[in-house]
A and B are shown apart, each in its own frame.
Chain A
Amino acid sequence: MENKPLLEVKNTGIQFGGLKAVQNLNMVLNQGELVGLIGPNGAGKTTSFNLLTGVYEPTEGDIIFKGERVNGLPPFKVTRKGISRTFQNIRLFNELSVLDNVKVAYHSLAKHNILSSVLRLPSHFKGEQEMEEKSIEFLKIFSLDKYKDELAKNLPYGQQRRLEIARALAAGPKLLLLDEPAAGMNPQETKDLMDLIAFIRNKFDLTILLIEHDMNLVMGVCERIYVLDHGQLLAEGSPEEIRNHPKVIEAYLGEEVHDVNA
């Protein structure tokens, strides 16, 4: 069991018409790892996330999660299998309270059906109360409980990011995908976020895949890094290796010019 990876991405790719947005993607995530996914704009990072979460169905290759094929499943089923995500541009349920945002994620864990809710059977009250208690419990971990009755749209930006992560975790994932969690944050908020990521990882026994442009954050928390460019895997390795990888430097800074006079 030890050496069986949590997630295996095998030669996966997707083509939109003639455009190969991602091709030959190979990734292996082991239980408990914190892995970064970086690359220049348009490299296919978010598309890869969309492949992993079932938003897109890969046109080639397979995605194996906990020994099961998950490509081709609709997103809600992928989430129920244990892959949960946040979005690059925050997608909260704006007109719902902070508490209800988290409750939505608990939805698939509660069992009472529509009939018992309409007839207000005991199972409805039990289920609803359980959802409420669990959600409040959860908000406390993220110290968001003081905002619980506030509408999500009224939270400050940093707290909205936090709430989105909390909501993704409430769905009970084994693998958490974070899409640019530090985007738009100031250095202090980024630092808090780094602490938060380290904390939830231990607390929930998570495996995390993280897209980020903030190199301090990526190099600071990730154990391994994958680099994408033009839809293809460019490099893989420890932060140290990536920092000195000639191809990565080339992708980010451009080719080195040897002879100006030529």
Chain B
Amino acid sequence: MKKSKQFWPFIIVAVLVYAVVQILISTEIINQFYSNTLILIAINIILAVSLHLVIGITGQFSIGHAGFLAVGAYLSAIVTMKLHLPFVVAIIVGGIVAALAGLIVGIPSLRLKGDYLAIATLGFAEIIRIVFLNIDAVGGAAGMQVSHLTTWTYAFVCLVITLVVIVNFTNSRHGLAAISVRENEIASDAMGINTTYYKVIAFAIGSFFAGVAGALFSHNFYIIQPSQFGFLKSFDILIFVVLGGLGSLSGAVLSAILLTVVSTYLQGYPETRMIIYSLVLILVMLYRPKGLMGTMEITDYFKLWRTPKGGGQHGK
């Protein structure tokens, strides 16, 4: 209930952000480069938040998120380029097929725990990449040409929908069940919670939004190649989640913004780019070992400001 009060402020802020950026873009105060960066930020936030649901909330260590990104990217590209359907249809198809892939991978592999699940998901992502690499209809290694359809409006609307769905899921009995799986699977089972169901559901929702991000991603760059969806991409997404703080949605959002900006800015210095990027990661992990936000959310900080003695009641 407490979260429903945050809903309208969130929508108002979202509309404001959208309007301001849209005006800046249409009046060409910010150029193509910056608007592209903003779209990239939106895509990365969607990826980070969707993986946050799987790792941060449900506690299932999946490192094959780029696989679902690839499924969404390729499927949506096929829908627009081969079937000549509208982009909206492509986004939805990309999401749904990625979610189905999530179900197919999730049902057998979510019986595994910890490292084993990580290896299984990593293997899955590689399989997806190799499959696309070997299908000539989508261009094989040379890649597939895709028209540029992603606009700030598409990216932002998808981002807002992602955030609303994942926040609403998390702040319900279903999210609580998923968190209980993360906290103690045996106890959760003993409390009457169908742990497999929630693991698979969280995985499927996460995959759906990764697929949506894939659709936006593929229609943003004119060309997609299997090499863009290798395991390094999976790790990029994982880094967003871990750096933001496992279990913190606002942390995932913040770190996705921060790292995208850092990485885009560093494109001007190709020689030192990866060194500085790595240094940023090391510094953050040294000074904030639990991630930027730990397990806190931005809204928790607002609460701390309001309560005079610094929040949390202790006993009395």
Contact = CB atoms under 8 A, between A and B. Distances in A.
A124 interface: yes
B313 interface: yes
Contacts of B268: none
Residue in A93, A110, A147 whose Cβ sees the most chain B Cβ within 10 Å:
A93
Interface residues of B, number: 35
Contacts of A95: 179, 183, 247, 295
B173 interface: yes
A92 B187 contact: yes
Nearest to B187: A91
A74 B169 contact: no
Interface string A127-161: 11101100000000000001101100000000000
B169 A114 contact: yes
Given A94-B183, A117-B168, A125-B1, A104 B193 contact: yes
Residue in B173, B195, B247, B314 whose Cβ sees the most chain A Cβ within 10 Å:
B173
A118 B7 CA distance: 12
A69 interface: no
B291 to A, nearest CB: 14
B314 to A, nearest CB: 7
Interface residues of A, number: 44
B190 A128 contact: no
Contacts, number: 118
A117 B169 contact: yes
B189 A74 contact: yes
B107 to A, nearest CB: 15
Interface stretch (A75-83, A238-246, A252-260): A75-83
A117 B173 contact: yes
A104 B180 contact: yes
A124 to B, nearest CB: 6
A87 B189 contact: no
Contacts of A103: 173, 176
Interface in B155-189: 164-165, 168-169, 172-177, 179-180, 183-184, 186-189
Contacts of A48: none
B113 to A, nearest CB: 15
A96 B176 CA distance: 9
Contacts of A80: 192
Contacts of B180: 93, 96, 104, 107
A76 B185 CA distance: 11
Contacts of B190: 53, 75-76, 79, 84-85, 87, 91, 168
Given A87-B187, A125-B4, A105 B192 contact: yes
A104 B177 contact: yes
B1 A104 contact: no
A47 B290 CA distance: 37
Given A91-B187, A114-B169, A100 B193 contact: no
25 contacts: A75-B189, A79-B191, A85-B190, A91-B184, A92-B184, A93-B179, A93-B183, A93-B184, A95-B247, A96-B183, A100-B176, A100-B179, A104-B180, A104-B193, A107-B193, A112-B173, A117-B173, A118-B165, A118-B169, A120-B4, A120-B168, A124-B172, A131-B173, A150-B315, A168-B191
